Amino acid sequence: MQFFATLITISYKNEYIFEETPRMSTYLLGWAMHDFVSESSTNQLRFSQNFRMWTRRSMDHRGSIALRQGQSIYSFLNDWLLVDNPIPKMDQIAVPDFNFHAMENWGMITYRESVVLYDDELTPTRNMLDGFTTMAHEYAHTWFGNLVTPTFWDVAWLKEGFASYFQYFAVSMVQPTWRMMDKFVVDTLQPAMLLDSTDHDRVMNGKNVGSPSSIMAVLDFVSYKKGASVIRMLSHVIGESAFRDGLRSYVKNMSYDAATPHDLYRHLQSSADNHGQLPRNMSIEGIMESWTNQPGYPLVTVARNYDMGTFTVSQERFRWNKTRDQSQSELKWWIPLTFTTETARNFSAVKPRYWLKRKCENLTAPLNISSSRWIIFNIQQTGYYRVNYDENNWQMIARYLSSRDFLKVHRANRAALIDDAFNLARAGYIDYSIAFNLSKYLVREIDHEPWVAAVNNLKFLNNVLSGTRVQRAFQEYANRLLQPRYKQLNFTDSKDEDITAKLNKELILATSCLVGSVDCLNLSESLFRNWITKPDETIPRDVKNFVYCEGIRNGGEEDWYLVMDRWLNTDLQTEQDLLLQGLGCTRESGLIKSYLELSLTDEQTVRKQQRMMIVTAILDGNVENVDHVLEFVRSNLQRIIELRGSDFLGKVISGIGQRMRTRKQTETLRAFIQGHSKQLGSTLDTARKALSAALENVKWIKKYLPSIVRYFT
Ligand SMILES: [Zn+2]
């Protein structure tokens, strides 16, 4: 089957007649009119000739790296699922202006240019890796979404959850040394739990979905990241072979059809039964519905009885505000329990040892270890839940991690322990001293995943403590943790570093600068100065993202306009985006104002998706920038609505609310909302939510600052 159009010219009219498509959902139809050039894959894999990347002429061959990786990933998926794509071609188009990152039109995937067009010398490793996973995500839609489509948007996780799972799984199989399934924990599962900790009522099987805005609203972290995390948990519950066979049967039997979650469960159930993987009294549907029909996720609390040699496990919904509405703590899940002990130390046993049943309050089991040895639950953080322990067990874990034996704990579990401890402290389940004590072991940590977890949590604290009397002590502590790793890394671009080493370099160096490492700031400054005077001497690609920012932050107006000029004269979008973000780091109110102006204009060189990126860059640039952005919104409200619409305005105001930290700021925001409620119109609700987010921040700081101060003084 060829999908080329036939051209018929009748008098003055050109008519293109396309081949008939397979039976499919209407949202997947796409066509393109362009004068782009194409490149075919040279891999000797499935339909190489028809596996193409289309780009603007000036971007010719910028897609080669992505195309090569992409075809291996695509072929892996096709082989793994054993169901051929009925459309024997894959046109991929790099679109300069594109609000989404990508779209999986069947046989014609579209991407933002920054997702797939790279320069080996200029594009950071992180961007390329994100690009590959985005491609894997779109390919996975061939089977999950296109061939088998969800019955409706309320169960969008049937396509987005699977695509978000396979975007890591497929790359992990093609590039085993990249350890993508460990990265899944810190890139997907932990960010999902972070967002899933508020008092929301959004569930995977969506409710009241129908209007266009409610459909857009379900394309969120619940359908994507949470969906993927719950799917990964299920794959470990029934084992990889049963999971694979069940999916093959589901895709094969449901091809060209619309599926419900029940269809998925049915196929997985019979596969799990064939493989003998589930206890007899349990069903996949029963387990899954506890995750797909309830908001949030559980906190599993482990209490040891050291005299009796037992442990008791209980569950409740994890929430930032656990005191607010007690009924929320009543939610219960089917929870697969995995654990290991200091004596056994088996971090590959991901099959559930026990189940915490939905109907049971708690579970008690014997534990044959000495009372001076730790127990760790949720092996490789395969379960979508957090774990809390009694203080004694936390201390034993912390002691073990700070010994040379810490590498015997799986890196995904080190990341999980850090993330759980800091978030338990943030929500008031444990004292901050437990999390800070646990984190001390990081002076020895060299792996990427635990550092990502640590940096996410350190960044949160660095932000909320900004301007308080304890910030300095906190930054000194963060710097002490980072120093040993910082000293092992350098600011140059080395060809023989592996991908994880490169990612780690960006992470550790950027965070060191963020918490005020003098050495880091000086080196960044000199790299930036050098590049300002000699534009040909580019900054190593994996340090650029913060070097541009530090340079702009400490530089003057002249530097800012020069960098702006370089942006406007740059054709490669990954580079444009980096320069754009750097420009947001200015502290000059005049420059911030000009930059915000640029986000409103129709300037051709600013791509549509870059307008919101400008606002975010300013808000992330410096904590105090939020005041300038609010002032700009206040004095340009009508223009913003007219030029960019209420959706844009809503995003800006939400961004403002999230970043406010002081009572004074919330008063300004409140006054603005009250004074402009009519003009805000459909954005009023978003604005009120932004205000309540800001008030939560203020309340949080007031409540938790004393315990952080206590620890550092
Ligand atoms: Zn998708």
* 96-137 pLDDT per residue, tens: 999 899 999 999 999 999 999 999 999 999 999 999 999 999
**Ligand 1 centroid from CA 281, angstroms:** 35
Count of C-beta atoms within a 10 Å radius of residue 151? 14
Please state whether the predicted TM-score (pTM) of the whole model is above 0.75.
Answer: yes
Q: Cα separation of 610 and 468, whole Å?
A: 33
Q: How far is the CA of 222 from the centre of ligand 1 (A)?
A: 13
What pLDDT, on the 0 to 100 scale, is given for residue 2?
A: 47
CB contact at 8 A, 429 and 329: no
The catalytic residue among 104, 138, 316, 342 is 138
Please tell me what DSSP assigns to residue 570.
Answer: -
Residue 601 or 247, more confident? 247
3-state secondary structure 309-353: CEEEEEEEECCCCCCCCHHHHHCCCCEEECEEECCCCCCCCCCCC
- Does the annotation list 137 as a binding residue? yes
The question of whether 138 is a catalytic residue gets the answer yes
Question: Domains in the chain, please, with CATH?
Answer: 1-142 (1.10.390.10), 151-178+201-295 (1.10.390.10), 298-418 (2.60.40.1910), 444-712 (1.25.50.20)
pLDDT of residue 159: 98
Distance from Cα 333 to the centre of ligand 1, integer Å: 27
What pLDDT sits at residue 7? 66
Percentage of the chain exceeding pLDDT 70: 97
* Angle, CA of 608, 609 and 615, to the nearest 5°: 105
Instruction: Assess contact for 415 and 381: CB atoms under 8 A.
Output: yes
Q: Is 200 annotated as a binding residue?
A: no
Q: How far apart are CA 486 and CA 489, in angstroms?
A: 5
Average pLDDT over residues 400-414: 97
Ligand 1 center to 235 CA (angstroms): 20
Alpha carbon of 146 to ligand 1 centroid (Å) = 11
Distance CA 336, CA 278 (A): 11
Q: 61 among the known binding-site residues?
A: no
How many percent of the chain have pLDDT more than 90?
86
Which residue do the tokens 């995943």 mark?
A: 449
pLDDT at 47 over 70: no
